[in-house]
Structure 1
Amino acid sequence: MLDLFIRSDKQKDWLQKLRKLEAKYKNRAAEIDELAIFPKENIQELVDMGYPSVTLPANFGGEGLKVYDMVMLQETLASFDGSTALSIGWNLGVVGEIFETKSWTVKQLNFFAKEILNGALVNRAASEAQTGSPTRGGRPGTNAVRKNGAWVLTGRKTFTTMSPVLTYFLTSAWIEEEKMQGHFLLHKDLEGLSIEETWDVISMRGTGSHDLVLDGVTVDDSMLVERLDGPRGGKVNGWILHIPACYLGIAQAARDYAVHFSNHHAPNSLNGPISQLPNVQQLLGEIDLELIRARHLIYSVAAAYDDESRRGLIENELGVVKHTVTNSAINIVDKAMRIVGAKSLQRSNPLQRYYRDARAGLHNPPMDDMTIKKLALSAIEKDMAKKS
């Protein structure tokens, strides 16, 4: 199915590189999930092949891949192992967004680009227990106080994906003296910065999304890289499409397993495999219908975002993609499990892992209720504008 969307030799080259990892990543996936182990070996292999810097612009030394390219590679990687894909996807998205918006100073961008090219990994640390998702506009409970020409940060962040191997934490904090939110680039070795291993969930168990604890962390003024007057969620950011791309890859893996199973499972009550049964064919057809619909949506919106002349027109579509693809992934895995039957519930069967991992997408931003509400408000406002 993916071949239809390949547009360049660079995409083909990177897909070929990633597909060489397929067997080993799939073999490791069960243990990663069972023991909730962060896939350090997988991430290091991706670092060694230069994957974390693919969304860094070419003029900064990277591959210069766009959102469309990222979606394709992340979907493929997620079909091997969801935890690995979601983890590294945050790095790709953050890097892509930073260098696209260019809200940092030139000096900061040059410094950061060199770090990424040298293998540094980054993710945003924005969620907190008291504020919930940062996209809902809650003020950070983490505080930044200016002292002796530097900043001192104190607080705790939750859901810090890939925390075991992150080099930098792009951390939100409230600057009381300026009455606004700031984002600080914190190196993992700063005194007072630690990771508390709190990640104990049933989905995406290998993402290492532990708590980041900041106990009077002092950082240079140059590491205050962003100031925000309002919530970050107000900006159109196509790089969040790495999230639905991940769940699309998981859905594809579930589909492939179900098709293979139906072609090879032949109970003695039949004269052949269960793929000849009308009810199985119905489910397989519904699965591919969902996949085709979801895939065309995500790639069309990604292509529109990469076209700067159309970017401002798809603010609602980004949320729609995440909503549609995530819910489709859940439906696809459910149908695959219906085909396979009780065997899909065995802990040794990958479908039960796909089922649990796909559910995690509901809680990645933006949430379904926000997407639906935004569509409604947009329709209402446009109609009112016509009347006025």
Structure 2
Amino acid sequence: MNSVQAFVQTEEQQQVIDQLHRLKGQIIERGVQADQENGFPFESFQDLLSMGYNQMTLPKEYGGKGFGIYGMLLFQETLASFDGPTALAIGWQLGVVGEIYEKQAWSVHQLQQFADEIVHHRALVNRAVSEVITGSPTRGGRPGTNAELVDGKWHISGRKSFMTLSYALTHYLTSAWIEEKQAIGFFLIPKETVGVSIEETWDVMAMRGTASHDLILDDVIVPEEALVEVNDGPRGNKLNGWALHIPAVYLGIAQAARDYAVHFASTYSPNSLPGPIAELAHVQEKLGQIELKLMNARHFLYSVASRYENPETRASITNELGAAKYIVVNHAIDIVDLAMRIAGAKSLHNSNPLSRYYRDVRAGLHNPPMDDMTITKLAQEAIRHL
């Protein structure tokens, strides 16, 4: 079985996947509409919140569901096979929460207080780090957003781009430069804070339903304890297995493209042939390539997740996280392309799901880490161990 189902390990994981499948029809329908209108599928996120999806990676000791990275990948891949933008958007919640509580970087009080927000008030959070002047935040650019402590309160001003899930977020985990510390701080800012607003700038060809608009911070004032993290270097240099939620989304899109291609090839029978095109050798060759690429990507992704979660093997993890994203995304792009070659010109119709998979899957190239950074790190590692 070449699907996510073959990688399920526990009954608890299966129960969540079953819950997601009960929402499948509505999520697909709303995702199509959001793509067509460049809108946002609010109802889908309400359905996910109703099943406690925002709590999946919050540890059980804090009242959450307590799933690790491996479980997160299963759920995200499943959800993305229904609608990639919905999965990518809420995936940031899972990844950010998982990382925060794994690394215990916040104070005990801050961790418990925010866990209560997640469990009892359906909190959704994402890191607000991207800015036009810095490019990809993983490259280490200093944010143009600034924070200054005045009379025991932080004053924050700036603009963040690619604020995915902007409409549904309850909190923004915002990076800002702190001059007095000569460091980058992260501030937990509730959406209702005075001076916080969303500017609707998201007009792109891919992942349209993510509402990745700009976040505007106009002299936002928050208490001193809103500063929850201080970083003295680029976050991209730190090992974070929770970032694997990103490739899981593109693997899910690839699975959806594969399913469409297999169904199309098995049912489309032009009158020039005695049977469906699935009987043709060149079509079988393409389907076989799709299966092989899916198998390769999925085994690599879940293997890396397992190694990261195992204390005995995590220490040996170096560039595998970046490599997993590189392999999955580039294989996913190839898979969608092969599916479109099987379907032919029909795949170019706006009403055909393959046309959306084609647009959405390419967004993975622009999610961190970037391909050139991954390849460079692999090369440098090889040279160091000559």
Q: TM-score, normalised by structure 1?
A: 0.98
Aligned pairs (5 A) from 1:213-292: 213-292=216-295
1:202 equivalent to 2:200? Answer: no
**Distance between the aligned counterparts of 1:208 and 1:347, measured in 2?**
20
Please state whether the residue corresponding to 2:143 is helix, strand or coil.
coil
Which residue of structure 1 aligns with residue 364 of structure 2? 361
Please state whether the residue corresponding to 1:189 is helix, strand or coil.
coil
Contact 1:236 1:312 survives alignment (8 Å): no
Report the CA distance between 1:2 and its aligned residue: 2.1
Which residue of structure 2 aligns with residue 60 of structure 1? 62
Contact 2:147 2:177 survives alignment (8 Å): yes
**Distance between the aligned counterparts of 1:368 and 1:314, measured in 2?**
18
Deviation by residue 1:329-370 (Cα, 9 ceiling, x = unmatched): 000000000000000000100000000000000000000000
**Distance between the aligned counterparts of 1:341 and 1:246, measured in 2?**
25
Report the CA distance between 1:23 and its aligned residue: 1.5
Which residue of structure 1 aligns with residue 214 of structure 2? 211
1:104 to 83, 103, 106: 106
**Distance between the aligned counterparts of 1:275 and 1:155, measured in 2?**
55
Quick one: which amino acid aligns to residue 311 of structure 1? R
Quick one: which amino acid aligns to residue 54 of structure 1? M
2:25 to 19, 23, 30: 23
Please state whether the residue corresponding to 1:199 is helix, strand or coil.
coil
Deviation by residue 1:95-121 (Cα, 9 ceiling, x = unmatched): 000000001000000000001112010
Report the CA distance between 1:29 and its aligned residue: 2.2
**Distance between the aligned counterparts of 1:115 and 1:313, measured in 2?**
35
Which residue of structure 2 aligns with residue 192 of structure 1? 195
1:339 equivalent to 2:308? Answer: no
Q: Which moved more, 1:310-319 or 1:51-60?
A: 310-319
Report the CA distance between 1:22 and its aligned residue: 1.1
Which residue of structure 2 aligns with residue 148 of structure 1? 151
Report the CA distance between 1:235 and its aligned residue: 1.0
Report the CA distance between 1:381 and its aligned residue: 1.8
Contact 2:4 2:77 survives alignment (8 Å): no
Report the CA distance between 1:31 and its aligned residue: 1.2
Which residue of structure 1 aligns with residue 80 of structure 2? 78
Which residue of structure 1 aligns with residue 162 of structure 2? 159
**Distance between the aligned counterparts of 1:159 and 1:304, measured in 2?**
31
**Distance between the aligned counterparts of 2:6 and 2:39, measured in 1?**
35
Q: Which runs of 4+ in 1 moved over 6 A?
A: none
Contact 2:278 2:284 survives alignment (8 Å): yes
Q: TM-score, normalised by structure 2?
A: 0.98
Deviation by residue 1:142-178 (Cα, 9 ceiling, x = unmatched): 0001111010001000001000110000000000011
1:173 equivalent to 2:176? Answer: yes
Contact 1:254 1:336 survives alignment (8 Å): yes
Contact 1:128 1:141 survives alignment (8 Å): yes
Report the CA distance between 1:382 and its aligned residue: 2.3
Please state whether the residue corresponding to 2:311 is helix, strand or coil.
coil
**Distance between the aligned counterparts of 2:64 and 2:313, measured in 1?**
25
Deviation by residue 1:50-75 (Cα, 9 ceiling, x = unmatched): 01111000000011100000001000
Report the CA distance between 1:314 and its aligned residue: 1.6
Contact 1:71 1:241 survives alignment (8 Å): yes
Please state whether the residue corresponding to 2:315 is helix, strand or coil.
helix
Please state whether the residue corresponding to 1:79 is helix, strand or coil.
helix
Deviation by residue 1:275-330 (Cα, 9 ceiling, x = unmatched): 10111000000000000000000000011111122112223000000000000000
Please state whether the residue corresponding to 1:300 is helix, strand or coil.
helix
Contact 1:193 1:213 survives alignment (8 Å): yes
Please state whether the residue corresponding to 1:151 is helix, strand or coil.
strand
- Aligned-pair identity in percent equals 58
Please state whether the residue corresponding to 1:270 is helix, strand or coil.
coil
How many residues are aligned here?
383
Quick one: which amino acid aligns to residue 165 of structure 2? M
Contact 1:79 1:250 survives alignment (8 Å): yes
Please state whether the residue corresponding to 2:221 is helix, strand or coil.
strand
Quick one: which amino acid aligns to residue 317 of structure 2? I
Structure 2 unaligned blocks of 5 or more: none
Please state whether the residue corresponding to 2:312 is helix, strand or coil.
coil
Quick one: which amino acid aligns to residue 287 of structure 1? I
Quick one: which amino acid aligns to residue 306 of structure 1? E
Cα RMSD (Å) of the superposition? 0.7
Structure 1 unaligned blocks of 5 or more: 384-388
**Distance between the aligned counterparts of 1:129 and 1:28, measured in 2?**
30
